[in-house]
Structure formats: C-alpha cells, structure tokens
C-alpha cells in the first residue's frame, strides 16, 4: 500500500443509531470529514461488533474475550451513539464500554433529539466526551477531531513512556568522570 500515512491518519468511528435517517446522516457527515465509518442499527449489534456481548452473557469468559478482541483487527477510535434506542440504550452502551478494560479509553459521544440537562450531565459524568443534539451538523462533527487527537497523543505518550523509560543513572567514580581537587595547602 502506497498510502500508509493517510490510512494511519484516517480515524475509524463506530456510529450507532436505530433511525436509518439519522444513521445515514451521521455516516455521510463523518465520511465527508474523512473518517472511516462503520454503522450499526442497535446497541446490541455494536456490543457484538466490539466483542462485549459475549462478556455480558458469561462473566467467566470476559477476560479471554477481551484478549480475542485485541487479537482481531477491529480498531475503533471513537464511538458515536444515539441515546434512546430499543434494547440497549446509548447510555447503557457508554457504561459497558467504560467498564471494559480493553475499550474504556475509546472516546464515546452521545447524540439525542431531546435536550434533557439531567440526561446530558449523566452521560458526561459517566465518561462521554461530548453530547450532540440532533440533527447532527457538520459543525458538531468538526468537534470530534480534538477528542481523537487527544486520545492518539495519550496512546503515543503511553507507548513512548513504556518503551523509553529512563533507567536510573548509576553513580560511578571512573577516573575520566572525577574532578581533580586542589588543596589550599598547595597554593601558597
């Protein structure tokens, strides 16, 4: 592949909404902004895609399933989800993602057509990066990139710190590293 740099900068967004109209709108807006987009029509499908649905069904397998998720090539940089969906709501999806040891650092943005301050506050308090009112507009999508860049920088910093940890310098008294002291007695 000749475009290695461009594919690296193309962020993958998982968009979840039960409304086909809203799903198509958010998909178009994200693609216009050069995001790679995967769309899901329900919270259950999103959990399946992320590998979290099996964790919910059987707690004994949760550790092995999160390991399998890492081994798969699914790389999601952000999740944008509707708040009100049948079955698993966007709020439930947010909570499951933030409870996951593997996915908790993925930024989640919630969308809703209802401007309910308590709902907005609850989502933000439980880890949502932002809350958009529908219909989502291009100006809203433009607000996503700083969240993605912040997460990318955190990832780079953590990777850099784990690779390049400075080892403590051992003090040594090698002849080439010691200073010669002059006695006051010699200077007369």
**Where residue 114 sits, what CATH number does that domain have?**
3.40.50.2300
Does 184 fall in a domain? no
Distances (CA, A) of 76 to 50, 71, 110, 124: 9, 13, 16, 20
**Domain assignment of residue 41, yes or no:** yes
* Strands 130-133, 36-40: pairing kind: unpaired
Quick check: 57 pLDDT over 60? no
Written as six digits, the tokens of 133 are 């009112």
**pLDDT over 90 for what percent of the chain?**
59
Q: What range defines the domain where residue 13 resides?
A: 4-163
How confident is the model over 112-171, as pLDDT tens digits? 999 999 999 999 999 999 999 999 999 999 999 888 887 667 655 555 454 444 444 444
Q: Determine the Cα angle at 142 with ends 12 and 11, to 5°.
A: 15
Residue 187 lies in a domain: no
Within 8 A by CB and 6+ apart from 75, the residues are 12
- The pLDDT value given to residue 152: 65
Residues 6+ apart with CB under 8 A from 1: 7
pLDDT at site 71: 35
- The predicted pLDDT at position 156 comes to 58
Q: State the DSSP code for 126.
A: T
Sign of the alpha-carbon dihedral angle for 132, 136, 138, 144: positive
Q: CA 113 from chain center: how many Å? A: 24
Residue 185 lies in a domain: no
Q: Confirm whether 178 is domain-assigned.
A: no
pLDDT on residue 166: 46
The answer to the question of residue 144 being in a domain is: yes
Distance CA 124, CA 120 (A): 6
> How many domains does the structure of the chain reveal?
1
Q: Compute CA 77 distance to the chain's CA centroid, rounded to the nearest angstrom.
A: 5
Query: Using one digit for the tens of pLDDT, what is the confidence trace for 21-54?
Result: 999 999 999 999 999 999 999 999 999 999 988 6
Q: Name which residue leads in pLDDT, 148 or 3.
A: 148
In a domain, 177, yes or no: no
What's the pLDDT score for residue 75? 87
Residue 145 counted as domain residue: yes
* CA–CA distance, 3 with 32 (Å, rounded to integer): 19
């Amino acid at each position: 592949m000749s475009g290695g740099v461009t594919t690296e900068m193309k962020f993958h967004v998982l968009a979840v909404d039960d409304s086909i109209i809203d799903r198509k709108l958010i998909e178009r807006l994200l693609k216009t902004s050069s995001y790679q987009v995967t769309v899901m029509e329900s919270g259950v499908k999103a959990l399946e895609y992320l590998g979290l649905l099996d964790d919910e069904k059987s707690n004994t397998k949760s550790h092995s399933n999160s390991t399998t998720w890492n081994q798969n090539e699914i790389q999601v940089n952000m999740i944008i989800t509707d708040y009100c969906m049948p079955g698993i709501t966007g709020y439930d999806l947010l909570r499951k993602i933030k409870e996951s040891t593997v996915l908790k650092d993925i930024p989640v943005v919630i969308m809703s057509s209802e401007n309910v301050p308590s709902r907005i506050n609850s989502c933000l308090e439980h880890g949502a990066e932002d809350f958009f009112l529908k219909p989502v507009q291009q100006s809203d999508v433009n607000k996503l990139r700083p969240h993605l860049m912040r997460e990318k920088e955190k990832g780079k910093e953590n990777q850099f710190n784990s690779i390049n940890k400075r080892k403590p310098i051992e003090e040594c008294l090698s002849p080439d590293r010691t200073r010669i002291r002059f006695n006051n007695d010699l200077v007369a």
